[in-house]
Structure 1
Amino acid sequence: MQDADYIYREELANAGLEKLPDQYFAALTNMRSVGVMGDERTYDYAIALRAVETIDFMTATASNIPFDVLQKVMSRIINEVKGVNRCFYDITSKPPGTVEFE
């Protein structure tokens, strides 16, 4: 899990976006998914990526991370983090959601 978060932070920094969101992180979900890695079928976990912008943390909106950056993050996480075969970008606002996964 720490590896996925490190990759997310590193790629946002590489793109000059690390100051854009007020809070961002990668979260391991309890959802497992069928996938294919190489020629093998997998049944691994999904990672949710979250980035929000807020003034007061009472309300928040999803950060507009460029799609090419998200694609690079996804590719690295799936190829470098063992046990993960899917990534999601969470665009839920607060409310109704919360900033953190609880």
Structure 2
Amino acid sequence: MTAPEKIVESVTLLALSRLAMVATPVLMSVAGALFWIWISAIQADARAAADITADLRPRVAALEGTQLRSQDQLISQLSDINRSLVEQGKQIAALTATIEALKGASR
């Protein structure tokens, strides 16, 4: 490598290093700004989620109350059906006993 080539290479490296020194703070500022925008977006999403959660609490409470009332009503209806089935079973047993008694009396 000749002396002029070494000088050109040295000047090129020096120019690139100076350019990098100038560009580094700018690029770091851009990276910081992008990071700040990203953090701000996350904060906005978190605030929106917190607002939605606050709105959902009364709704969930109302739904739970409705569900409990519906379950109580269903249990009451099932209890009524169970009582009816027990009563029908007793009536069928009484009817069967009556029929058996009539069969026995006619023989």
State whether TM-score is above 0.5: no
Decide which structure has greater helix share.
2
Larger RCO of the pair (alpha carbons < 8 Å, separation 6+): 1
**What's the TM-score bracket when you normalise by the shorter of the two chains?**
under 0.3
TM-score (norm 2): 0.16
Larger radius of gyration: 2
Decide which structure has greater strand share.
1
